[in-house]
Amino acid sequence: MSKEIYENPDLKKERQNCPFNKEEITHLLDGGKEKTIERKQLENYILSDEQLKDAVPMEYLSHADKYAEELRKACLLMHKLADSPAGQVPTLRALMGAGLGSAVLKEGNPLALHYVMFIPALMGQGTIDQQAKWLEKAYNLNMIGTYAQTELGHGTFLRGLETRATYDPKTQEFILESPSLTAYKWWPGSLGKTANYAVVMAQLYTKGKCEGTHPFMVQLRDEETHEPLPGIVNMWLNPVCISSYIHYGTYVKPTNSKLSYATMVFVRVVVCQDVTTNLRKAVTIATRYSCVRRQSELKPGDREPQVMDYQAQQNKLLPPLAATFAFQLAADHLWNLYHTANNNIEQGDLELLPDLHGLSCALKALCSSEAANFVEVCRQSCGGHGYMSCSNFPRIYGQVTAAETYEGENTVLWLQVARYLVKTRKEQSGGLSVKYLIGEEKGPKTVDTTLEGIVKLYRRAAVGLVDVAIAELDKSGRKGEAPHDAWNHAAVYLIKAAQAHARLFVVESFVDSLKEGKLSAPVRTVLSQLCELFIIYWLLERSGDFFLCSNLTKQDLLLLNSKYVELLAAIRPQAVNLVDSFDLRDEVLNSPLGCWDGNVYQRLFDEAAKSPLNQSNVHESFHKYLKPLLKSNL
């Protein structure tokens, strides 16, 4: 007799009469039906392996045991890579990120940096000969690498890195040294115990001249014993410069000194997708829980309502739900730009480099900061149970908020974006993503609150805020301030302009994708509602920017507020169906609050029972500490 599959009755009701094809949205997010099939096959292949399951919840292990357990599983995953039904690269991409990877490696992947930065650095900056020598070894895992750039004293300011690589023309060797405590490489993932090689970013000195930061391949540990090589703490010998800038002792300048920053650009592009995956998990958990959880009284005398029926809860969860689509579509556009720019760069055409740098900084900063804020709202929307470690919100939040700092601290990246915008606006020259800055904004300044009208408002704000920032810079200049002081004193305006640019890109990506996409009418309807909700939400959140830069009136704002709450009500009935379309398995969500069947309370109870403290009625510490206290008659 087949066991009746439990489904929470409220969730069951939410799923009845879904007006759109969930699989159509799943395929859209995966990149097509074939990709969905491939993903599901890969998920089955990985998640069915009993050896990859945690015997006890990771939170109850010691630091060292957590490391050992994650390393055990990471190594097992690498063995499974060879036989993966999806092929090596799609499998690696899935295993390195916030989706399938974090379902197995909940505390982090000790081998992530090897694939996410070490190999990309070799591919992006190594010579053909160097790639021939190291790439096969890296792909075969005969070496484990990391990317060692950040030091105790410097993470942001790369031109201030202290680690030095001095070229000795007599021996044709580079001597790497960390001249001070603050020069110690600090933060690189896997550097502590896992990697035996590293790409080390160091200031290149040759013939007494500093040529700036360059990547060097350095062996850290003995390949057999894994012991650190002699002098590894403060003196590294025998590194090799990864790139071909030293020709027979003479330094040959690269076509662009920033090409040595290319690895970071790659990860910034990838991070946008990764934080979006984490946000999808958080929204799924919070949405399903909000339709299972019944609390308080909406209509006097009635049964306690689903908390999702409170407009306040819809206001918490539907903008992040819409954001997952907005960020995914924008990340897809950025990924395409990355590939185009990279292919051009390989042919020596650097024209798109400033666009790629500007946009990757903008989207990485926007997606990571917005996702972190939205994940925290999702956590709070689940009340006390959202605070529990087993809810998975603490881990998801930790992963997303880290992305606000690594790969370029967000404020610093916003200022990079502003530099690119000001230059483009002033020089009236520029590339792909800033065309709106070239020439004057045309058309009437009147406001219409249609989708197209709202996009025009975003464009006006993006242009207007750059002009406000430029006016501030010019004002400081007229007062005789040096350019660097003027820049620092305009930082608030510059960051606002950068953020408005990033939002415009996301909004246009979402609107254009719906125009171009081959979507069924029901899917187009629900995605258009989400699109309109999201662009109005952001406008209401940042209304000051729009008042400053357009003829937006109080009446317009009241109208948009009404439209916003109407859209909350319109989308509410499809919230569970939309998160079901993400097709995130329970093992990927890893949360009793978000499971497909909605059996929340039993799963919470079962999770609590796993705690070591719940294995006995009286913990031994009672007799050691509490009982003496009770008897001490203080």
Q: CA–CA separation, 549 vs 547, rounded Å?
A: 6
CA angle 300, 303, 309 (to 5 degrees): 85
**Residue 96 interacting with ligand LCXGKVS4 (CB under 6 A):** yes
Task: Mention every residue, 6+ apart, whose C-beta is less than 8 A from residue 164.
Answer: 176, 177, 179, 202, 203, 205
State the minimum distance, in angstroms, from the CB of residue 176 to ligand LCXGKVS4: 18
From residue 261, alpha-carbon distances to 117, 213, 570 in Å are 11, 9, 46
Q: CA–CA separation, 542 vs 540, rounded Å?
A: 5
Task: Mention every residue, 6+ apart, whose C-beta is less than 8 A from residue 195.
Answer: 113, 114, 118, 144, 145, 146, 188, 220, 221
Query: Taking Cα atoms as reference points, which of 265, 503, 461, 465 lies closest to residue 370?
Result: 503
What residue 470 binds from ligand FAD, ligand LCXGKVS4, none (CB within 5 to 8 A, per partner kind)? none
| HEC letters along 3-71 | CCCCCCHHHHHHHCCCCCCHHHHHHHHHCCHHHHHHHHHHHHHHHCCHHHCCCCCHHHCCHHHHHHHHH
State the minimum distance, in angstroms, from the CB of residue 335 to ligand LCXGKVS4: 11
Is 206 known to sit in a ligand binding site? Answer: no
**Residue 568 interacting with ligand LCXGKVS4 (CB under 6 A):** no
**Residue 246 interacting with ligand LCXGKVS4 (CB under 6 A):** no
**Residue 154 interacting with ligand LCXGKVS4 (CB under 6 A):** no
| HEC letters along 447-472 | CCCCHHHHHHHHHHHHHHHHHHHHHH
What residue 370 binds from ligand LCXGKVS4, ligand FAD, none (CB within 5 to 8 A, per partner kind)? none
Q: CA–CA separation, 311 vs 317, rounded Å?
A: 10
What residue 571 binds from ligand FAD, ligand LCXGKVS4, none (CB within 5 to 8 A, per partner kind)? none
Q: CA–CA separation, 115 vs 88, rounded Å?
A: 12
Please pick, from the candidates 43, 274, 355, 583, the single residue that binds ligand LCXGKVS4 as defined by CB under 6 A. 274
**Residue 156 interacting with ligand LCXGKVS4 (CB under 6 A):** yes
Residues near ligand FAD, by CB under 6 A = 113, 147-150, 154-156, 187-189, 402, 405-406, 408-409, 411-412, 415
**Residue 13 interacting with ligand LCXGKVS4 (CB under 6 A):** no
Which residue number, 285 or 352, has a Cβ lying nearer to ligand LCXGKVS4? 352
What residue 585 binds from ligand FAD, ligand LCXGKVS4, none (CB within 5 to 8 A, per partner kind)? none
CB 85 within 8 A of CB 161: no
Helix (H) or strand (E) holding 173: strand 173-177
Give, as ranges, the residues between 397 and 436 that touch ligand LCXGKVS4 (CB under 6 A). 406-408, 412, 416, 419-420, 423
Q: Which of 69, 407, 472, 532 is catalytic?
A: 407
Tokens 């300044």 identify what position? Answer: 445
Q: CA–CA separation, 207 vs 167, rounded Å?
A: 8
State the minimum distance, in angstroms, from the CB of residue 259 to ligand FAD: 18
- AA identity, residue 493: Y
Q: CA–CA separation, 353 vs 355, rounded Å?
A: 5
Q: Which stretch binds ligand LCXGKVS4 (CB under 6 A): 154-162, 223-231, 454-462, 611-619?
A: 154-162
Q: Could you give the maximum distance between any two Cα atoms of the chain, in Å?
A: 90
Is 150 known to sit in a ligand binding site? Answer: yes
Which residue number, 419 or 585, has a Cβ lying nearer to ligand LCXGKVS4? 419
What residue 411 binds from ligand LCXGKVS4, ligand FAD, none (CB within 5 to 8 A, per partner kind)? ligand FAD
- AA identity, residue 297: E
HSE at residue 45, side-chain half, CA atoms within 13 A, is: 21
> For ligand FAD, which residue has the nearest CB?
155
**Residue 548 interacting with ligand LCXGKVS4 (CB under 6 A):** no
State the minimum distance, in angstroms, from the CB of residue 417 to ligand LCXGKVS4: 9
**Residue 592 interacting with ligand LCXGKVS4 (CB under 6 A):** no
Active site residue 211: no
Binding residues: 150, 189
Per CB under 6 A, residues contacting ligand LCXGKVS4 are: 92-93, 96-97, 112-113, 115-117, 147, 149-150, 155-159, 189, 258, 261, 264-265, 267, 270-271, 274, 353, 357, 406-408, 412, 416, 419-420, 423
Residues involved in catalysis: 407
